[in-house]
Structures are given as structure tokens and as C-alpha cells.
């Protein structure tokens, strides 16, 4: 076992990567802002091959991600959505199952997926997080794509 300390990749470069974004249309204004922030960050990181896909809601995100990952056309994917607590138990079901599905899709396919599905109490919390979360997911997708490429190249 190595004693190396983990390092943050400060100079991420997404040149040559293909990144897919799957965004929910439910809570559209927030999801559009998440996507705009993710795309802006991907472009800043030199990703030119960005494909965006729209689905009705958060529960449709995992199947779409899994299908895209299985296509072999993407180095990484990004899941974007906003699940806002309401007055019923539905919030817990959608939040838990959507996030579980995102995790399962990446573990089954081996394609990294940055999870940007916001699970918040209200619109104000979602708006406060939408810019940073979109950008963070873009950076995570590029970093994980490069990390896995490095692992595969070492074999």
C-alpha cells in the first residue's frame, strides 16, 4: 500500500473527451440553470464534445444514463435534476430512487457519472446551489474520466 496522499487535480483538461448530460425537465428553471453551469464549466475545461439529453423527471434519469453509458460513446456522464420537498412522502421516494439509480448505472457500466440531482427543501435552496452544483459536476466528470483512463492505460 502506498503512503501517497490524495491530490486534487487543479489543471483539469477535458480536451478529447465526450461528456453526456441528462437533465430533468421537472423544475425546469432550476435544471436549465444547472445545465448551463455544467456546459459552461465543460467548455472552460476544453470539452468540445458535449451531448445533452432531456427527460421528464428525476426517475427517468438513471435508465437514460445507463443506456448512454452502455453505448460506449461517452467518457463520463452528468445527471442533473431538482427534487424539492413537498407535502407528501413522494420526495423521499424520488430522491432515494433517482440517486440510487445513478449510482447503480455507473457501477454496472463502469462509466463515471457525476450526480447533480439536487434534493432540497425549497426553491430558494435549489437556486442557491444550481450554479455551483452544475460546475462541480462538470469538473467531477472530467476528473473521473481522466482518472479511469489513467487506470486503464496502466494495464
The C-alpha atoms of residue 64 and residue 51 are separated, in whole angstroms, by 13
Query: Considering 25, 48, 90, 100, which one is annotated as catalytic?
Result: 90
The C-alpha atoms of residue 29 and residue 131 are separated, in whole angstroms, by 12
Q: How far is CA 139 from the centre of its chain?
A: 10
Query: What cell does 121 get?
Result: 427543501
> DSSP assignment, residue 89?
T
- Contacts of residue 50, Cβ cutoff 8 Å, sequence gap at least 6: 18, 19, 20, 21, 39, 42, 43
CA angle, residues 113, 12, 6, in degrees to nearest 5: 80
90 part of the active site: yes
Which residues are known catalytic residues? Answer: 90
Amino acid at each position: 500500500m502506498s503512503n501517497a496522499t490524495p491530490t486534487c487535480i487543479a489543471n483539469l483538461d477535458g480536451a478529447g473527451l465526450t461528456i453526456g448530460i441528462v437533465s430533468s425537465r421537472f423544475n425546469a428553471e432550476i435544471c436549465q440553470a444547472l445545465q448551463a453551469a455544467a456546459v459552461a464549466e465543460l467548455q472552460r475545461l476544453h470539452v468540445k464534445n458535449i451531448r445533452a439529453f432531456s427527460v421528464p423527471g428525476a426517475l427517468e434519469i438513471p435508465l437514460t444514463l445507463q443506456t448512454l453509458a452502455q453505448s460506449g460513446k461517452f467518457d463520463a456522464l452528468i445527471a442533473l435534476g431538482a427534487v424539492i420537498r413537498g407535502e407528501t412522502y413522494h420526495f423521499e421516494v424520488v430522491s432515494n430512487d433517482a440517486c440510487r439509480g445513478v449510482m447503480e448505472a455507473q457501477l454496472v457500466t463502469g462509466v463515471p457519472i457525476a450526480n447533480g440531482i439536487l434534493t432540497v427543501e425549497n426553491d430558494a435552496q435549489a437556486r442557491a446551489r444550481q450554479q455551483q452544483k452544475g460546475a462541480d459536476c462538470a469538473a467531477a466528470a472530467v476528473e473521473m474520466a481522466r482518472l479511469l483512463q489513467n487506470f486503464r492505460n496502466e494495464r
